[in-house]
Structures are given as structure tokens and as C-alpha cells.
Amino acid sequence: MKYLVLAGTVAALAGCGGGGGTTLSTGETYDSMLAKAQAMGDATGVIDSGSGTIVGTALADVPADGSGTYKGYVEGDANGAGLIGDLTLEVALSRTEISGSATNFQHEVDGAYTGTLTMPTTTIQNTDPDEFSGNLTGTLTNGGTDYATDINLTGNFYDGNGTNTVAGDASISIDGGLPNPGLFIATQTP
């Protein structure tokens, strides 16, 4: 999450709250989503909202109770300013798999981007620490223009102050352009 500071994302990640059910955004602004994302980062102790860096220590193995739904945020630069969206990840430990989607995107300058990006099922790698890499792909629309969008996620699992958390780097590419750095964080929902 070392790039959240680029757009103030770290502060947003910290505002999401780390425990209990995470409520995702509907009709929010870029600033309000960013504040929630920063709060989530701070509450879990995984991301430092002041520096925008991942400060938590990744778990060597996915927690035994780590299966389920994780909700949070993905953020980075796109089209010259910050872009943030709601992130949902599904973890199936029995198959060591993860899949996901992102929607409800807000751009720092251009406002709402509609559409949903999906990440097909990918394997959680049994490394030390366990990690995964997957691509959220699809089309986002803003102002009548469609943007082919690809967000690569590379992440690890964390004990976010007692809340199962997944976080890592995001690389955002719009319409085949050069990738821009970003971060993501999500906490397990009860």
C-alpha cells in the first residue's frame, strides 16, 4: 500500500474500520471513499496512512479461519488523478483460491466511473508468506467514454489487529496505457 499517499488514499483506508462488517460505498465521493480506506488501513495496522506504506507483517500462512468474503478498497492513479473503488474478494481455503470484483469507482476529478471489474479465480501461492496475484479486468465508463481497465493485484494476508486482512500493491492500467501504482486493502466480513 505504499502508493496510497499519492492521492491521500492512506487516510481513506484508515477510515473504513477494521472489525465487523465492512459497508461498501454507494453514491459516495472520491474523498469520502478515500477517508474510509485510510481508516481501514489504520484500524488494521496494515497500512500507515501518513506514509501510504504497508507496515503490517504478512502472515506466513493464510489463517485457518481465512475463508470467506473480504471487503475493502482498491486505489491508485488513473487518467491523471486518483481513482478508488469498492473491492470484494472471495477466499476459498479448501481449494487455496481467491477471486474478486471491484465496482463503485470514484475519480478524484472526473467523478463516478460505472462498471464492474472482475478477477477470475486464481491460486493462493504456498510461499512464505502466502501470496496471490490476480487481474481485475473489464470496462469502466465515464462521461460517455468506455475505458478498458486492468488492475493487477499482488497481495498477502495479515492479522489486522485481530481482523483477517488482505492487502498489497495494485497496478492500474487504463486503455492499455502504462500502469500506475496503487494499493488495496480488504477485511474479512463476519
Residue-wise pLDDT tens digits, 28-51: 999 999 999 999 999 999 999 888
Query: In the structure, what pLDDT confidence band is assigned to residue 126 with cuts at 50, 70 and 90?
Result: confident
**Which residue stretches of the chain are H helix?**
9-13, 30-44
Residue 26 — very low, low, confident or very high, per pLDDT cuts 50/70/90?
A: low
Over residues 77-113, the pLDDT tens digits come to: 998 999 999 999 999 988 899 999 999 999 999 999 9
Q: What are phi and psi of 94, to 5 degrees?
A: -60, -25
Give the pTM: 0.86
pLDDT at residue 52, rounded to an integer: 85
Q: Show me where the domains of the chain are located.
A: 4-188
Class assignment of domain 4-188?
mainly beta
Per DSSP, the three-state class of 126 is coil
- What one-character-per-residue DSSP string does 46-76 give? SEETTTTEE-SPPPSS--TT--EEEEEEEEE
User: Exposed, middle or buried: residue 102 (CB in 10 Å: 0-12, 13-18, 19+)?
Assistant: buried
Contacts of 59 (CB under 8 A, 6+ apart): 129, 130, 156, 157, 158, 159
Grid cell listed for 11: 487516510
